[in-house]
Structures are given as structure tokens and as C-alpha cells.
């Protein structure tokens, strides 16, 4: 299996199966954080879950109503905030490095799509 790096406007997502400590990468055009394999798995799983939650709740909200949803594992805390069709994403690592990062709403749909196809979880 080869190293994979996907990127788009305002986001980056990578997987290196031969990495020793850090096999994953998340970031934007301006910053990046290396993740362990387990952290990357949780990031992708929680991101997909949050995106689905935003879709599921869309019918319950008025057009101008914003929402915030959180999800977390032992390794990662994540939050989406905004409208069901346009929301930002925030990430905090819960162990070790204690890193924080965020993505603008314009980057999130493509990041979600990339997370769904990065590798099999």
C-alpha cells in the first residue's frame, strides 16, 4: 500500500501505512498535524458521523438557524458549527500533543468526501 495525500482548497488529508509513530496527516494550506493511525481512524469516523448528523437535522431547523454538534473519542474531540449546508469544523487532540485545528466551511464538504474514501476503516 502506498502513501496517500489528498488536498483541496483549504484542506489536506494523508495516510502513510509505512509510518512508524504517525501514519496520518490532517491540515489546511497553513498548518498540518501528524496523527497516529488510531487518531486518523477516529478523525475520519467522527467527521463522517458529524456530517451525517448535520444532514439528518437539516429538516428540523429553520433556514436561518445555526447549530453546533460535538463528537469525541478517547483520542479526539471534534465540533461542527454553522448551517446544515455550510459549517466549520474544529478538532482537538485529547492525548499527548494536545493540538488544535480548524477548517472553514468552504473546505469541509471536500474534506468529508476525502475522509470517506481515504482508506477502509
CATH code of the domain covering residue 113:
2.30.31.10
Determine the distance from the C-alpha atom of residue 72 to the mean position of all C-alpha atoms in its chain, rounded to a whole number: 12
More confident residue, 58 or 13: 13
The C-alpha atoms of residue 97 and residue 21 are separated, in whole angstroms, by: 13
Determine the pLDDT at residue 1. 67
Domain assignment of residue 107, given as a range? 4-117
More confident residue, 6 or 65: 6
HSE, CB side, 13 Å, CA atoms: give it for residue 83: 7
What counts of helices (H) and strands (E) characterise the chain? 2, 8
Q: What is the pLDDT of residues 40-64, one digit of tens each?
A: 999 999 999 999 999 888 888 777 8
Cell 474531540 locates to 77
Residue 13: phi and psi, rounded to 5, are -150, 125
Q: In total, how many domains does the chain have?
A: 1
Determine the pLDDT at residue 60. 84
DSSP alpha helices (H): ranges in the chain? 37-57, 108-117
Grid coordinates in use for 37? 493511525
The C-alpha atoms of residue 86 and residue 79 are separated, in whole angstroms, by: 13
For the four alpha carbons of 12, 16, 17 and 20, in that order, the dihedral sign comes to negative
SS3 state at 8 = strand
Q: What is the pLDDT of residues 94-115, one digit of tens each?
A: 888 889 999 999 999 999 999 9
Q: What is the pLDDT of residues 60-96, one digit of tens each?
A: 877 788 899 999 999 999 999 999 889 999 999 988 8
Determine the pLDDT at residue 85. 87
Amino acid at each position: 500500500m502506498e502513501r496517500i495525500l489528498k488536498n483541496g482548497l483549504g484542506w489536506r488529508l494523508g495516510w502513510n501505512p509505512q509510518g512508524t509513530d504517525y501514519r496520518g496527516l490532517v491540515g489546511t494550506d497553513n498548518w498540518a498535524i501528524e496523527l497516529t493511525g488510531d487518531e486518523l481512524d477516529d478523525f475520519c469516523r467522527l467527521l463522517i458521523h458529524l456530517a451525517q448528523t448535520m444532514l439528518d437535522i437539516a429538516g428540523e431547523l429553520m433556514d436561518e438557524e445555526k447549530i453546533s454538534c460535538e463528537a469525541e473519542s478517547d483520542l479526539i474531540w471534534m465540533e461542527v458549527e454553522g448551517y446544515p449546508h455550510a459549517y466549520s469544523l474544529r478538532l482537538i487532540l485529547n492525548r499527548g500533543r494536545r493540538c488544535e485545528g480548524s477548517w472553514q466551511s468552504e473546505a469541509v464538504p471536500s474534506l468529508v468526501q476525502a475522509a470517506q474514501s481515504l482508506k477502509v476503516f
